[in-house]
Amino acid sequence: MKILVTAKRVTDPDMKIKVKPDGTGIVTDGMNYKINPFCEIAVEEALRIRERGVNAEIVVVGIGPKEAATEIRTALAMGADRGILVLMDRYYDSTVVAKILKKIVEEEKPDLVITGKQAVDDDSNQASQMLAEFLGYPQACFASKIELVDGGKKAKVTREVDGGLETIQVELPAIVSADLRLVDQPRYPTVPNILKAKKKPLKEVPVESLGIDITPKTEFVKMTEPPTRKAGIKVPDVPTLIEKLKNEAKVL
């Protein structure tokens, strides 16, 4: 079978994020980047599906600038087989991502697509669902467990929803988006695998060559800093604390 997974290049979520004074974006000087943690989970799950006994080719797709190849190589070092980087250097939103991925899916014809449920820079959590609709595929989002059943023709997916866990069964091909608890910890690549990954095929595809409409359906206006946390105060005693929590913070 063929599994398609995503690997987005995102700013490291542990880095300090500062909005540029002119509001056009965040400061990227000295920024560190890494693979989107949810995508990393998706890659790890694909590898585990294979290790559980399915003969699968795992293809990684990323969208971004040339540097985004690094994150695809990370996925290859974990064990994926080949990568596709769609070169993109202009403003885009989830609708564009979904359209690009649709084109890739139509070309690659994977049986299963596992994405990260959201990217930790954008935090939209839209592209996977939109992709499913564009393709007419069933969707199983926020997955915390995936099981191939019915001879690999269906996937039984447990989803993290409000108040509990929901289990559904989807016919393949389907779109599954990975939630945090799908995998306890993505593997740390071994050095032999890191060295091998350098040689695995990684195709760079300029987005224009896909021949699709990539007009975004949103427009960026500006970016602002969030309201800052007011410096804390020390209270002298319990009655004062309770009073402040009740009347000032309004949390009691």
Partner 1 sequence: MAKTLIIAEHSKGQIKKATLSSITAATKIGGGYSIVVVGKDVRGVADQYAKYGAEKVYTIDNDVFKNYIAENYAEAIAQLIKANNFEFVFGSATAFTKDLLPRLAAKFDAGMASDVLAIEVSGSDVVFARPMWAGNAIAHIKITSPIKFATIRATEFDHAKEVGSTSPVESFSASVDPAKAKVEYIEFAETKSERPELTEARVVVSGGRGAKGPEGFKMLEELADLLNAAIGASRAAVDAGWVPNDLQVGQTGKIVAPELYIACGISGAIQHLAGMKGSKVIVAINKDEEAPIFQVADYGLVADMFKAVPEMIAAIKSSR
Partner 2 sequence: MLLTHQNLLGLLFAQEKSSLIPTHSSVLSMILYVLIIAAGLAIFAYLIYQRWQILKIGKYEDRFSNFGARIKNVILVAFLQRRIFNELQAGLMHAFIFWGFCVVSINSITFLGEGFISGFHLPLLGPDQILGKFYGFMKDLFEVLVLIGLGIAFYRRLILRPKRLTYSFEANLILIFILILMISDFFMFGIKLNTGELPHEFSKFVFASAVVGNWVSSLSVDTQETIFMINFWTHLVVFFTFLNLLPLSKHFHVITSIPNTYFVKLTPKGQLTKMNLEDETAESFGTSKIEDLTWKQIFDTWTCTECGRCQTYCPAYETGKPLSDKEINQSLKHHIYDEAPYIIEERKKKSAQTTGQPAQEKAEETRKRPSMIGEVIKEDTIWACTTCGWCEEACPVQIENIGRIVDFRRYLVLTESNFPKEATSVFKGLENNSNPWGLGSNKRQDWAEGVEGVRWASDTPEFEYLFFVGCAGSFDDRNKKITKAMVKILNAAGVNYAMLGNEEGCCGDSARRLGNEYLYQMLAQTNVETFNNYKVKKIITTCPHGYNTIKNEYPQFGGNYEVYHHTEFILKLINEGKLKLKNPINQTFTYHDSCYLGRINGIYEEPRNILKGINGVRYKEMPRHHYKSFCCGAGGGRMWLEEHIGTRINANRTEEALSLNPDAIAVACPFCLIMLDDGVKDKGAEDRVKVLDIAEIVAKAIE
Q: Where do contacts with partner 2 occur on this chain (CB under 8 A)?
A: 12, 14-16, 30-32, 34, 185, 187-192, 194-196, 198-199
End-to-end CA distance of the chain: 54
As measured in angstroms, the least distance from the Cβ of 159 to partner 2 is: 26
Task: Give the pair of three-digit tokens for residue 82.
Answer: 């080949």
Cβ distance to partner 1 smaller for residue 103 or 244 = 244
Q: Which of the choices partner 1, partner 2, none does residue 188 contact, using the CB cut-off of 5 to 8 A by kind?
A: partner 2
Closest CA to 94 of 117, 67, 111: 117
Cα separation, 67 vs 101, whole angstroms: 19
Residue (19 or 87) nearer to partner 2, CB: 19
Query: 199 vs 229, which CB is nearer to partner 1?
Result: 229
CB of 96 to partner 1, least distance (A): 10
CA distance 172 to 182: 19
Residue 209 contact among partner 1, partner 2, none, beta carbon within 5 to 8 Å by kind: none
Residue 56's contacts (CB-CB under 8 Å, 6 or more residues apart) are 1, 2, 3, 46, 49, 50
Which tokens is 52 given?
């559980």
The site partner of 31 among partner 1, partner 2, none (C-beta below 5 to 8 Å per kind) is: partner 2
Q: Which is nearer to partner 1, 56 or 98 (CB)?
A: 98
Helix (H, G, I), strand (E, B) or coil at 110: coil
State the virtual CA torsion across 102, 107, 111, 113 in degrees, nearest 10. -40
Nearer Cβ to partner 2 (30/236): 30
In the complex, the smallest distance separating the C-beta of residue 116 from partner 1, rounded to whole angstroms, is 14
Shortest approach of partner 1 to residue 208 CB, angstroms?
20
